[in-house]
Structure 1
Amino acid sequence: MAIDAYRTAVVTGANRGIGAALVRALRGRGLLVHAIARTAEPLAALARDTGCVPHALDVGDRAAMMAALDGVEADILVNNAAAVATGGPSYETTVPQMEDLLRVNIAGVINGLAAVVPGMKARRRGHIVNLGSTAGLHVIPGMPAYGMTKAAIHNLSQTLRLDLHGCGIRVTEIVPGRVETGIHLRLMADQAAARRAFYDDYASLQPEDIVAAILFVLDAPQRMDVTLMEVMPTDSIYGGAAFAKRAGA
């Protein structure tokens, strides 16, 4: 089912970056878009610019999500909201950081599904797009706790296809590499140093690149489900051949 046959979309993490760019693109295609984010002011500005329906709430709040989307006949759900934690070993992740990661990156996705999937099943139409991360598929130093939650989303996206088999609902996981959204700046206390470390002198992906990927999978014919799409910057790779020297060498 091409995107033009859909009427209503729900986008989380819609106040900036990929989410905001996607809201603009979907509105440009004529869809009614329910935009969800925690910060009310930029969300209200986006609503004024695009005509989307804003919902200022925490995706980790099941009751708030269910109330906001009650009666919404969503054809598209894009689980884009994400939390990150400062870099470092997994055992240095603080309790507040871990709670935030679990609430947003895992519970937030489940809550979005709970709010819209029963209606999709009843109507036998819909497309769920989960935003994963290369950190969830590959070992990337410096963000193990975040990567763990994104690995969970990879597993969820696969099992969700089993749960919805025969319902006509498509499930896609988009797995971006580094996208210049500003989220990486939260990984370091020194923002200028973070920008130098992650963005300056690098040709990172831009939010519109990931939006283009999402529109591609949404526009595919109903018989075609792009289940997993990894999108990397051309100049970026993962892996490597790090080899520690023997003690005393």
Structure 2
Amino acid sequence: MAQKGKIALVTGATAGFGHAIALRLVREGYRVVATGRRQERLEALAGQVDTGRIMPFRLDMTDLSAVRALPESLPEGWREIDVLVNNAGLALGLEKAWQTNPLDWEKMISTNVTGLVEITRALLPGMVARNSGHVLSLGSTAGTYPYPGANVYGATKAFVDQFMRNLRSDLLGKQVRATTIAPGLCGGSEFSQVRLGDKSKADAVYQGTAPLLPEDIAETVAWVLGLPAHVNINHVEMMPTCQASAGLAVDRTMLG
């Protein structure tokens, strides 16, 4: 369903999911405010489509004053955001909880949790006032299925799940939708390289697999947004066919 004239704001649009989602939504007829910290990448993204379809807007999700001022900071004609795609987020490290750098925990929480709720709070009043809109947040299967080293990252994504469920409850009676998309193993982005700090280690994560790709996530976003206004998709969990939840771990050395 073409969304001519509607405006979507996509966070973390400099690479990976956000980049693919921004391009996919332009194809759907949206004008897109593409945010991120790397202005040159945002400019390059805008250069891939017709002039005026993507507006690059530099935004650091950990800069709370900038996030809170966002609605008034956008240029005239770009302020009535119809769709917010909360994509910006990151994972850092795979160390056990007692071995991690607390600064990594702080950065994940400030981006994945605080930044997400702050930008939602900044844009939601406009949607409610217009009685129209959609908040779509990228969660993760890590928010449901624990694994060693996921500690705070998994907790931040569990927060996203519960925040969005409660947001949906708050929005009952309003024509504003709320959706979480929770992908599993995904390649084709900077996620693992940022997390592990080493390209060879990041490449090894996907060795022998056919992971989800950013285009798969973008296609799912487009499907959810394109459904009739009376349909709200609460939660989408998606994995590549080469992945499944691992079940419970058991230590068999305790009495060995």
Q: Which of the residues 112, 131, 147 maps onto 1:105?
A: 112
Q: Which amino acid aligns with 1:94?
A: N
- Residues 36, 56 of structure 1: 8 Å contact kept: yes
- Structure 1 segments of 4+ aligned residues over 4 angstroms from their partners: none
TM-score (norm 2): 0.91
- Residues 127, 176 of structure 2: 8 Å contact kept: yes
Identity %: 34
Which secondary structure does the structure 1 equivalent of 2:207 belong to? coil
Q: Which amino acid aligns with 1:7?
A: K
Output one character per residue of 1:39-80: Cα deviation in whole Å (capped at 9) or x when no partner: 111111112223411111211222212334326101100000
Which secondary structure does the structure 2 equivalent of 1:173 belong to? strand
1:1-249 alignment, distance < 5 Å: 4=3, 7-50=6-49, 51-70=53-72, 72-180=79-187, 181-196=189-204, 198-247=205-254, 249=256
1: CA distance between counterparts of 2:233 and 2:202? 34
Which secondary structure does the structure 1 equivalent of 2:47 belong to? helix
1: CA distance between counterparts of 2:229 and 2:200? 45
2: CA distance between counterparts of 1:19 and 1:189? 20
Which secondary structure does the structure 2 equivalent of 1:103 belong to? helix
2: CA distance between counterparts of 1:167 and 1:3? 22
TM-score (norm 1): 0.93
Extract unaligned runs of 5+ from structure 2: none
Q: Which amino acid aligns with 1:49?
A: Q
Matched positions, count: 247
- Residues 184, 194 of structure 1: 8 Å contact kept: yes
1: CA distance between counterparts of 2:25 and 2:174? 24
Q: Note the C-alpha offset of 1:173.
A: 0.3
- Residues 76, 127 of structure 1: 8 Å contact kept: yes
Are the structure 2 counterparts of residues 29 and 241 from structure 1 closer, same or farther at C-alpha, using a change threshold of 3 Å? closer
Q: Which amino acid aligns with 1:13?
A: G
1: CA distance between counterparts of 2:168 and 2:2? 20
- Residues 85, 143 of structure 1: 8 Å contact kept: no
2: CA distance between counterparts of 1:81 and 1:202? 25
1: CA distance between counterparts of 2:179 and 2:193? 27
Q: Note the C-alpha offset of 1:5.
A: 6.1
Q: Note the C-alpha offset of 1:223.
A: 1.3
Which secondary structure does the structure 2 equivalent of 1:9 belong to? strand
Output one character per residue of 1:187-243: Cα deviation in whole Å (capped at 9) or x when no partner: 3244213311x1121100000101111111101111110100001111101123532
Which secondary structure does the structure 2 equivalent of 1:175 belong to? strand
Q: Note the C-alpha offset of 1:3.
A: 5.4
Which secondary structure does the structure 2 equivalent of 1:4 belong to? coil
- Residues 173, 229 of structure 1: 8 Å contact kept: yes
